[in-house]
Amino acid sequence: MLETTQRKILTTDQNPDGALFLNAAFLHFGDVVVHVDVLSRPENLSELRRKHRATHVFRATRDLVFAAPIIEGAPRLSGEQTKISLRDDPEMACHLWREALLRRFFERKREIIRGVPVQVLSRAAGDALGAGKDWESKSTCPSVLSAIDARVAYGFSAQVFRPPSQSEHQIALPVVVLDVFVVEQITASVAELVAQGVDLRHVYVGELEPISDERVLPELKLRGLLRDVIQGIATVEADNGRIEKIDASKLRVEATRKNIRQLLEHALGHGRWVRASEDMKARAAAVHEGASWVKRLQTAHDLLRKDPLEIVPGIQVTVGDLVNPARWPNGNATVRRAEPAIYVFDAAGRKVHESASHGIAAHGPYSRSASIPRGPRVCLICQASQQGVAEQLMYKFLHGIQGTVFSRGFLRTYGFENCQPVPFTARDGSARAYHEAAQRALQAATESKQPWDLAFVQVEDRTHQLRGDDNPYLVTKAFFLTQQIPIQQFRFETAQTPDAQLAFTLSNMALATYAKLGGIPWLLRADPTTTHELVVGISSTWVRESRLSQGERLVGITTVFSGDGSYFLHTVSKAVRYENYSEAMLESLRTSIDRVRRERNWQNGERVRLIFHAFKPLKDAEAIAVKRLAEDLSDFQLEFAFLHVASDTSLQLFNSNSQGVPIGKTDKVKGRYVPERGLMVALSDRDLLLCATGAKELKRSTDGAPVPLRLYLHRASTFRDLQYLGQQVLMFASHSWRGFQPAPMPVTVSYSQLIARHLGRLAKTTRWNPDVLCGRIGTTRWFL
């Protein structure tokens, strides 16, 4: 049961001074025509590029390859030539510019870590984020510290914007998107580290292997776990158990957090490595802080503008201003502000609040009077050696922590009368011991003929990386779900945190627990629409047996219905292999359509809209299959919207007028240069940026500038109101019952990803049977 608002989207133009800007700058090509050779596309395009890299740039289409000469007197590669106007073919223009930038960096001996997009390591002294000379002077092994190389890197991606226009003529604007990020490497070989006394046994190691473009630095390809090193020869065990003998001087250690910690501890000792680690983290976090990010952006922008690029002989391209979406060159402003969510806490719609947490505190949950057990029976599974700590945390959870945001506790906040967790202890932290404790809990419930409503399970941080039957949480979760009992975990380390911090964790835990018990914390205010809507969320996750295993990609499917302006969740427990997801999506959609027709009493001739929030762009074949399925609804007027919700875009939006938000009573601020949540920027009629996280939603000053969502609308969509769809995505991002903070992703996508992740991990346990989700537990929020 989910409501959302579809109120009027307000136009905003509060930046007459150009306060809004993207991390993208215009590329000016002018009225340039380039002469290219035309070739049939070969089977080995990489070899063609490698062979003629010094003389030509190649751009491939499905059937043809265009070869543009980049030096005077370049040899002809084909008897057929053509002319390409870069104004008419801006994608070709961007390709030529990117290749010219790559050549420049290579000629200047820059360390290129990627070719598409172009990414280079910074050489500036202020961009070196390793331990540094100060810590090396305090180390007994300074060479080990210097092997930890953390540096700022810059990315340059040339792409084309086509901002919406009020006229029929739409302009194409080539831009370069500038990115700033941190790269960590361990530069010393395994042989060098072992010679310094570092114990690298059971660490994943690999070899640096060249890629097809020799201008780009080699990539680390993992080979397996290091067993030992004897006389310079490393014994490496692959995932399949195969043993290899490799020269240790050719091996490198993966720069994971764990491995970096190990090198720091070896070089500095137990007393100092923690401070050095925190120092490195702080400097890396500072890179992403708004003002620092923008400063580096401006520096990179100035360098690009200072030195134009020659893309082909005699043709130079200049870099223009940073893009202000409130001032496109065609005179249009494509910045909009979506309405914030209004949370509803009663069926009459009178108890409302702009904040979910404050609304719960003031009004109680939406379903406070619903038929939920007011004295839920819960069991507590924990280690015998940690029972006291677990019970203390449960008391704080149930009754609250005075003087904090969670002072009322779970019982009073959500209207429960009583709850007394019954402990069942595991003799140790093994999965087998946890399973035995869970069995005793079930036996006790059976003997008393009083089933458990929920199970709390305490685990340790160290178990998080364990897989399958070795993971006590997964084994216990599989056991209780099989018995149709939801489970809520908490970690032993959580109980060790200060009460002021613990209160926020317990508050979120209480929200998820209430939802798992069948409660509805809140709904969202909605304006009715004249069209019935059904929204399907699709996301995926990779599940691997180990670091090197290929694993499998599982897709989670979450169906969210809309009828008469209100939304509610249904069929939220489906996950399938990637290769089968299209078929499963159609099956889920067919079931959903049949059910909603009956429950909502759709009448012939009414309008029906199907909206898909997908983790990847839907293929044309998938869109066609959905339309064919919907032909069964021939009695209705149908519309479709296929929306790719992307969170990994390098595009960011900044506001130079944003001074950030103060953090408590300190002099620190968070979110400088960060625009407010809900701003939307249309980059084209089918491409939209949505700021799902604003300065207020950040937790710390070191959180950095959040990356907006990028929404791509498939060309087969018949419903094309991208602003409406952006507003809808923001509303879904306000509705996560995992925590009170607005989420960075809509629940349509994040819930389906959680489903896929949980079911994928549960599938690695021997006692799990996914058919149990066909029962009552499958219709609950068991995955929160």
Q: How confident is the model at residue 561 (pLDDT cuts 50, 70, 90)?
A: low
CB neighbour list of residue 698: distance below 8 Å, 6 or more residues apart: 661, 670, 671, 674, 706
Is pLDDT of 549 > 70? no
Q: How confident is the model at residue 643 (pLDDT cuts 50, 70, 90)?
A: very high
Is pLDDT of 107 > 70? yes
Question: Higher confidence at residue 204 or residue 622?
Answer: 204
What one-character-per-residue DSSP string does 431-448 give?
Answer: HHHHHHHHHHHHHHHHHH
Report the alpha-carbon distance of residue 497 to residue 723 in Å, rounded: 42
Q: How far is CA 624 from CA 1, 192, 582, 640, 717, in A?
A: 30, 57, 11, 11, 10
Provide the greatest CA pair distance for the chain. Answer: 91
CB 319, CB 25: distance < 8 Å: yes
Q: How confident is the model at residue 97, as a pLDDT?
A: 96
Please name which of 418, 476, 484, 478 lies closest in space to residue 452, comparing C-alpha atoms. 484
Q: How far is CA 438 from CA 214, 218, 364, 456, 776, in A?
A: 56, 49, 32, 10, 20
CB neighbour list of residue 610: distance below 8 Å, 6 or more residues apart: 533, 534, 536, 589, 626, 630, 638, 639, 640, 641
Which tokens go with 112? 């290129």
Q: What is the pLDDT of residues 446-474, one digit of tens each?
A: 999 999 999 999 988 888 778 888 999 99
Report the alpha-carbon distance of residue 575 to residue 753 in Å, rounded: 9
Q: How confident is the model at residue 734, as a pLDDT?
A: 86
Query: From its phi and psi, is residue 224 left (phi > 0), alpha (psi between -120 and 50) or beta?
Result: left
Say which range, 408-412, 570-574, 622-626, 640-644, has the weakest mean pLDDT.
570-574
Please, which contacts does 688-691 make with residues 24 or more away whose CB atoms are closer than 8 Å? 688/713, 688/722, 688/723, 688/725, 688/726, 689/649, 689/651, 689/653, 690/338, 690/726, 690/729, 690/730, 691/653
Q: How confident is the model at residue 439, as a pLDDT?
A: 95
Secondary structure, 3-state, 714-777: CCCCCCCCHHHHHHHHHHHCCCCCCCCCCCCCCHHHHHHHHHHHHHHHHCCCCCCCHHHHHCHH
CB 416, CB 374: distance < 8 Å: yes
What one-character-per-residue DSSP string does 296-362 give?
Answer: HHHHHHHHHHHS-EEEETTEEEEEEEEP-TTS-TTS---EEEPPPP-EE-STTS-SEES-HHHHHHH
Q: How confident is the model at residue 11 (pLDDT cuts 50, 70, 90)?
A: very low
Question: Higher confidence at residue 590 or residue 472?
Answer: 472
Please, which contacts does 102-109 make with residues 24 or more away whose CB atoms are closer than 8 Å? 102/215, 103/70, 104/309, 106/215
CB neighbour list of residue 205: distance below 8 Å, 6 or more residues apart: 190, 222, 223, 224, 225, 226, 234, 236, 251, 252, 253, 254
Beta bridge partner(s), residue 538 = 557, 614
Q: How confident is the model at residue 563, as a pLDDT?
A: 45
Mean per-residue pLDDT, 27-51? 89
Q: How far is CA 31 from CA 90, 428, 429, 706, in A?
A: 11, 74, 70, 37
Helices 290-306 & 273-288 angle (0-180, nearest 10)? 60
- Mean per-residue pLDDT over the chain, rounded: 85
Decide the pairing of beta strands 607-614 and 637-646.
Answer: parallel
Q: How far is CA 73 from CA 56, 102, 424, in A?
A: 11, 21, 82
Mean per-residue pLDDT, 696-709? 81
Q: How confident is the model at residue 548, as a pLDDT?
A: 62
Decide the pairing of beta strands 335-337 and 679-684.
Answer: antiparallel
Mean per-residue pLDDT, 718-724? 92
Report the alpha-carbon distance of residue 147 to residue 151 in Å, rounded: 12
Q: How confident is the model at residue 369 (pLDDT cuts 50, 70, 90)?
A: low
- Range ranked top by mean pLDDT from 123-137, 545-559, 577-591, 599-613: 123-137
Please name which of 80, 32, 36 lies closest in space to residue 59, comparing C-alpha atoms. 36
CB 739, CB 510: distance < 8 Å: no
Neighbours of 82 (CB within 10 A): 12
Q: How confident is the model at residue 699, as a pLDDT?
A: 78
Backbone angles phi, psi at 602, to 5 degrees: -60, 140
Q: How confident is the model at residue 584, as a pLDDT?
A: 73
Percent of the chain with pLDDT over 90: 42
Report the alpha-carbon distance of residue 321 to residue 26 in Å, rounded: 6
Neighbours of 743 (CB within 10 A): 20
Mean per-residue pLDDT, 282-310? 90
Beta bridge partner(s), residue 310 = 316
Q: How confident is the model at residue 573, as a pLDDT?
A: 58
CB 391, CB 348: distance < 8 Å: no
Q: How confident is the model at residue 456, as a pLDDT?
A: 94
Question: Higher confidence at residue 547 or residue 693?
Answer: 693
Mean per-residue pLDDT, 495-518? 90
Q: What is the pLDDT of residues 313-351, one digit of tens each?
A: 989 999 999 999 988 888 888 899 988 888 888 888 889
Mean per-residue pLDDT, 264-276? 86
- Per-residue b or e along 622-634, where b marks 16 or more CB atoms closer than 10 Å to that residue's CB: bbebbeebbeeee
Place of tokens 């994040």: 750
Secondary structure E strands in 376-502: 378-383, 422-426, 454-459, 487-491
Q: How confident is the model at residue 633, as a pLDDT?
A: 67
**Domains in the chain, start-ordered, CATH in brackets?**
112-321 (no CATH), 371-516 (3.40.50.2300), 525-656+710-774 (3.30.420.10)
Report the alpha-carbon distance of residue 490 to residue 506 in Å, rounded: 9
Percent of the chain with pLDDT over 70: 92
CB 535, CB 562: distance < 8 Å: yes
Report the alpha-carbon distance of residue 722 to residue 162 in Å, rounded: 14
CB neighbour list of residue 599: distance below 8 Å, 6 or more residues apart: 563
Q: How confident is the model at residue 569 (pLDDT cuts 50, 70, 90)?
A: low
Is pLDDT of 3 > 50? no
Question: Higher confidence at residue 584 or residue 263?
Answer: 263
